[in-house]
Amino acid sequence: MPTYEKIIDSDKERRKIKADRRMREIMTAYYMEAKTPKEQRGKKIAWITSGGPVEPLHVMDVIPIYPENYGAMIGASKMGVDLCEKAEEMGYARDLCSYARADIASATVNGGPIGGLPEPDMLICCNNICGTVLKWYEVQARYFNVPLFILDTPITHTTFNDEMRRYVTRQSAEYIRFLEKACGRRFDYDRMAEVGALSIRAQELWQAILDTTMSKPSPMTCFDAFFHLAMIVTLRGTQTCVDYYEMLLAEMKERVAQGIGMLPVEKYRLVWDNLPIWYRLRWLSNKFMERSACLVADTYTSGWVSQMPSVSSTDFLGFMGESYARIFLNSGTDLMAENIIRMVKKYDADGVVFHSNRSCKPYSFGQYDIQKILRKKLGIPTLMIEADMVDERSFSESQIETRIDAFIEMMKK
Amino acid sequence: MDHFQRFREISANPGRYAEEWKKKTGGKVVGHLCSYTPVELIVAAGALPFRILSSGAQIAQADGYLQAYCCGLVRGVLEDALAGRLAFLDGTVFPHTCDTIQRLSDIWRMNIGGFHADVILPVKLDTESAAEYMLAVLQRFKADLEAGLGVTLSEAALGEAIRICNRGRKGLERLYALRRKRPDAIAGSDLHAVFRAALVMDRAELADALEKLADMLESRAPQAAPPVKRLVLSGGLCSMPDIYQVVESSGGRVVWDDFCTGARYFEGLVDENGAPLAAIAQRYRQRVVCPAKHAGIHNRGQYLVDKVKSYQADGVIFLLLKFCDPHAFDYPYMKAMLDKENIPSMLFEIEDQISSEGQLRTRCEAFLEML
């Protein structure tokens, strides 16, 4: 049996991130507004995929609601199994994405966290994250009988070419026309410029926050990033999001200046790949913490920062399609491996933890190749955790703990 | 004389056929996944389009590349490639369909090699910008093929390839039409063998063989046949096990299917008078969609209901390949649409070919009894 450093945690309070409280307030207010009855609310509601272009919705004063964010809430509140089983009773195979199953089921019952999501007036689906969202949003378009817009973003296996660029740019214009029709009024291009600038500013701030973990000790872990991520996903394009991230960044910088790390002892620095295991965040966080292993970065939360070097804050719409098409998950496995290599170097990591996520095939298939590439190019140890982001039935605690131990042993060598 | 013998031989060992074709013609063999591969371009390039299906061999090496929650088709074809059973391929084409095939393309490119083309088709097919993009994708594929195979694809060659492929499609449609009219005129297993062969055969040879076969079968005098239950098959059976024997021995006859290795493959002809690439693009946009593509939210369900009605089918069997997400998402609504029309249906999930057969037989017999 390996021996672990006894955790001396007298200054646990000092290490806590203070901005957390504000974050909870903002998210509560956001859901409160969305859950206000339609007549009092005035604003329309759009359900949108996590990688979808939310900025034009803010321009049109449409409240964006993220079933995937809700899926994470379902997972974190351990309601996933119940809802997944309900979807299976409805005829959806158990092998389907657990976000989709949980959301499809919760739409039909008055249950789930916050008593369910407010009904959509329209659906916005961008397939840059997977083909699953297309099928999932088709299901919801039939169920709610509301218009569905699909932003079809061709994958960059090796290169993003001119015809792809033209296709996604033309769709940006179609999206605006769709919104004008759904909302019954003209699109405000001046406001788009403002919202676009706010979105880009928020992305920069988010990246700067994530980059504070280059410091040793790291002021936060990816488990904290998973929490603070909700803002960039749901509210990018708003002043609220920019203000919050400015506050969070200031706190992170202060922690760095004072040498406050998230872990009492930081011996190993790791990169996480794939979605979080929402129902076991605390357990996993503790397991790594007890072993002095700090997950300093992850491929997931950095996915909300545009990879486009030339993104322009004055012509947001002109770049929007390409920017959304070229997220790392919509690229070839070898490009995804390069992304991880860059992260390992940037954050000076000693190893990589892969979550092989039954729910997310495009994220998970190819991970074995990425492992091989990392071994060859960096010679660092990797860990593969077989699980699911929401469906707890696919989680084997003892097996995973054993693997974590073996992995830490490898890093000691 | 057994008119199906040749098809059966090819179906049993498609790889050998491709190897012999190569030896005979000196041409190149281009493997491909999925019915969205524009085979006309491959034919026009003088190469043999070879639809890759899993041989069903035990998975050993593929486990090192793909997790266990990947569908049997993709694990199976990767296993075949890693084991060298597809060494005769000069290249492989991956049309964009599902998430799994998309990743298979990456894994293949990094580990198998050979000429590699991604045909990154649009996912939604019902908009004007998608139509424009689709045409551009075909133009790029043409350039990729020309560079990869060292040939030039002339308009004339493309036109000729379209005519040849259309002849093949018409031949298959004639067999389906005959079966629809007289379900006993052609055994399901025979048609299955014809189809498997059709997916890999030289298209000119295929067109001739199908015409001969259809002529012969159509000219046979109809025999008095006992009444049978007419069935439509639906689902994702890209891996094509021979389930027809099971259905027929339970007293059912398949009168239509909604498989990419079935009706979807031949339905709709390419316009022979239009500009070749535009005409090919048009067919793909108008054909009934695979569930990984979008052309409205009721498209596939309506298609199924229409086929059941117009072909007077008694019921539908859904065959789902385990871990096939696009089909699994469509099943509940398609079943609901059938229920609304009082059309009985049954779902059967196939994990791997061999272990499923006994179970399928039991379920099938019970279902047919109920009809």
ipTM, two decimals, is 0.96
CATH number at residue B42: 3.40.50.11890
Q: What confidence tens digit (pLDDT) does each residue in B170-184 have?
A: 999 999 999 999 988
Q: Could you tell me which of B3, B13, B54 has the C-alpha nearest to residue B241?
A: B54
| CB-count burial class (<10 Å; 0-12, 13-18, 19+) for A41 | middle
Cβ of A131 within 8 Å of Cβ of B292? The answer is: yes
Query: pLDDT band for position A5 (50/70/90)?
Result: very low
B342 alpha-carbon distance from chain centroid: 29
| CA–CA dist B165, B202 (Å, integer) | 10
CA distance A108 to A106: 5
Q: How far apart are CA B318 and CA B258, in angstroms?
A: 10
Instruction: Return the residue in B79, B133, B323 with the most chain A beta carbons within 10 A, the one to mutate for interface testing.
Output: B133
pLDDT at B108 over 50: yes
Q: Which residue has the tokens 């939210």?
A: B297
- What band does A3 get if pLDDT is binned at 50, 70 and 90? very low
Residue ranges per structural domain of chain A:
23-412
Six token digits for residue B356: 């499923």
Closest CA to B68 of A231, A63, A365, A53: A365
Rounded-to-integer distance, Cα A100 and Cα A286, Å = 28
Mean pLDDT of B145-161: 97
Are A93 and B320 inside 8 Å of each other by CB?
A: yes
Whether A249 and A228 have beta carbons less than 8 Å apart is answered as no
DSSP 3-state assignment of A236? coil
Q: Is residue B233 part of a domain?
A: no
Handedness of CA A403, B101, B305, B254 (dihedral sign): negative
Q: Which residues of A touch B103 (CB under 8 A)?
A: 333, 361-362, 365-366
On whether the CB atoms of residues A134 and A125 are closer than 8 A, the answer is: yes
What six digits make up the tokens of A136?
A: 């999932």
Give the three-state DSSP class for B65. coil
Is the predicted pLDDT of residue B336 greater than 70, yes or no? Answer: yes
- A90 touching B, CB under 8 A? yes
DSSP-derived letter for residue A18 is T
Report helix, strand or coil for A126: strand
Give one DSSP letter per residue of A334-378, joined into a string. Answer: HHHHHHHHHHHHHTT-SEEEEEEETT-HHHHTTHHHHHHHHHHHT
Q: A119-151 burial, b for 16+ CB within 10 Å, e for fewer?
A: ebbbbbbbbbbbbbbbbbbbbbbbebebbbbbb
B237, B367, B243: which is closest to B290 by C-alpha? Answer: B237
Give per-residue pLDDT as tens, B68-98.
999 999 999 999 999 999 999 999 999 999 9
User: Quick check: A4 pLDDT over 50?
Assistant: no
pLDDT score at B240: 61
Residues of chain A found within 8 Å of residue B132, distances taken between Cβ atoms: 166-167, 170
Q: Which helix (H) or strand (E) holds B30?
A: strand B29-32
For B222-262, strand residue ranges (E) read 229-236, 252-258
Is pLDDT of A358 > 80?
yes
> What integer pLDDT is reported at residue B92 of this predicted model?
98
B347 - beta bridge partners? B318
Contact in structure between A228 and A221 (CB atoms under 8 Å): no
Give SS3 for B241: coil
Helix B99-111 / helix A333-346 crossing angle, nearest 10 deg: 80
What pLDDT shows up at residue B354?
58
Using CB atoms within 10 Å of the CB of residue B194, give its burial: 0 to 12 exposed, 13 to 18 middle, 19+ buried.
Answer: buried
What is d(CA B195, CA B245) in angstroms, rounded to the nearest whole number?
A: 15
CA B240 to chain centre: 8
B294 contact residues in A (CB cutoff 8 A): 134, 138, 150, 152
Residue type, B352: D
Q: What is the C-alpha separation between A50 and A132, in angstroms, rounded?
A: 12
In this prediction, residue B221 carries a pLDDT of: 85
Tens of pLDDT along A35-47? 999 999 999 999 9
Other C-beta atoms within 10 Å of A189: how many? 11
CA distance A159 to chain B (A): 11
Rounded Cα–Cα distance for residues A380 and A354 (Å): 13
Q: How far is B131 from chain A (nearest CA, A)?
A: 10
In a domain, B200, yes or no: no
Q: Check residues B351 and B288 and name the one with the higher pLDDT.
A: B288
Sequence-ordered strand ranges (E) for A23-116: 45-48, 63-65
Q: Is B346 helix (H, G, I), strand (E, B) or coil?
A: strand
pLDDT digits (tens, 9 = 90+) for A211-235: 999 999 999 999 999 999 999 999 9
Range A127-147 average pLDDT: 98
CB contact under 8 A, B100 and A361: yes
Q: Among partner residues B102, B105, B107, which is closest to A369 by beta-carbon distance?
A: B107
pLDDT average, residue stretch A272-287: 97
Residue B285 confidence (pLDDT):
92
B308 domain residue, yes or no: no
Q: Is residue B39 part of a domain?
A: yes
Helices marked H in A109-188:
132-144, 162-183
B230 is written with which tokens?
């007419």
Does the beta-carbon distance from B100 to A365 stay under 8 Å?
Answer: yes
pLDDT higher than threshold 90 for residue A57: yes
Per-residue tokens: B238? 């890209």
Q: Both tokens of residue A66?
A: 């993220």
What's the one-letter identity of residue B116? H
In the predicted structure, residue A312 carries a pLDDT above the cut 70? no
Chain B contact for A93 (CB, 8 A cutoff): yes
Chain-centre distance for alpha carbon A30: 18
Are B291 and B329 spatial neighbours (Cβ–Cβ below 8 Å)? yes
Q: How far apart are the first and last CA of chain B?
A: 36
Question: Residue B259 falls within a domain, yes or no?
Answer: no
In angstroms, rounded to a whole number, what is the distance separating the alpha carbons of residues B113 and B90?
Answer: 9
Q: Look up residue B152 and give its two tokens.
A: 């030039």
Q: Would you say residue A306 has pLDDT above 80?
A: no
* Cβ neighbours for A208, distance < 8 A, ≥ 6 positions apart: A249
Residue B21 resides in a domain: yes
Asked whether the beta carbons of residue A361 and residue B132 sit closer than 8 angstroms, the reply is no
Instruction: Tell me: pLDDT of A1 over 70.
Output: no
Is the predicted pLDDT of residue A305 greater than 90, yes or no?
Answer: no
**Residue A307 confidence (pLDDT):** 64
Cα within 13 Å of Cα(B300), Cβ side:
31
Assigned CATH topology for domain A23-412: Rossmann fold (3.40.50)
Residues B220, B180: contact at Cβ < 8 Å? no
Residue B49 has pLDDT above 50, yes or no: yes
Question: Which among B136, B137, B328 has the least Cβ separation from residue A96?
Answer: B328
**pLDDT digit string, tens, across residues B15-41:** 999 999 999 999 999 999 988 999 999
Compute CA distances B164 → A236, B40, B159, B203, B211, whole Å. Answer: 54, 8, 9, 6, 12
Q: Is the pLDDT of residue B1 over 70?
A: no
* Number of domains comprising chain B: 1
Q: Residue A7's pLDDT band (boundaries 50, 70, 90)?
A: very low
Interface contact A142-B64, CB threshold 8 A = no
For residues A26 and A244, is the Cβ–Cβ distance under 8 A? Answer: yes
By Cβ distance, the residue of B69, B103, B133 closest to A366 is: B103
Average pLDDT score, chain A:
94
- The mean-pLDDT minimum among A23-32, A79-88, B240-249 falls in B240-249
> DSSP H helical segments within chain B, as ranges?
5-12, 14-25, 39-44, 72-82, 99-111, 128-149, 155-181, 188-198, 203-219, 244-249, 263-266, 276-286, 299-310, 325-340, 353-370
Angle between helices A162-183 and B128-149 (to 10 degrees): 170
- In DSSP notation, B270-321 reads PPSSS-HHHHHHHHHHHSPPPTTSBS-SSHHHHHHHHHHHHTT-SEEEEEEE
Maximal CA-CA distance, chain B: 58
Q: Could you tell me if A163 lies within 8 Å of chain B, comparing CB atoms?
A: yes
Cα-Cα-Cα-Cα torsion B304, B307, B309, B314, nearest 10 degrees, comes to -80
What are the φ and ψ backbone dihedral angles of B41, each rounded to 5 degrees? -70, -35
Greatest alpha-carbon pair distance for chain A in Å reads 67
Contact (CB, 8 A) for A58 and A238: yes
Choose among B66, B333, B349: nearest Cβ to A142: B333
Contact list in B for residue A51 (CB cut-off 8 A) is: none
Interface test with B, best of A156, A163, A166, A384 (most B CBs within 10 A): A163
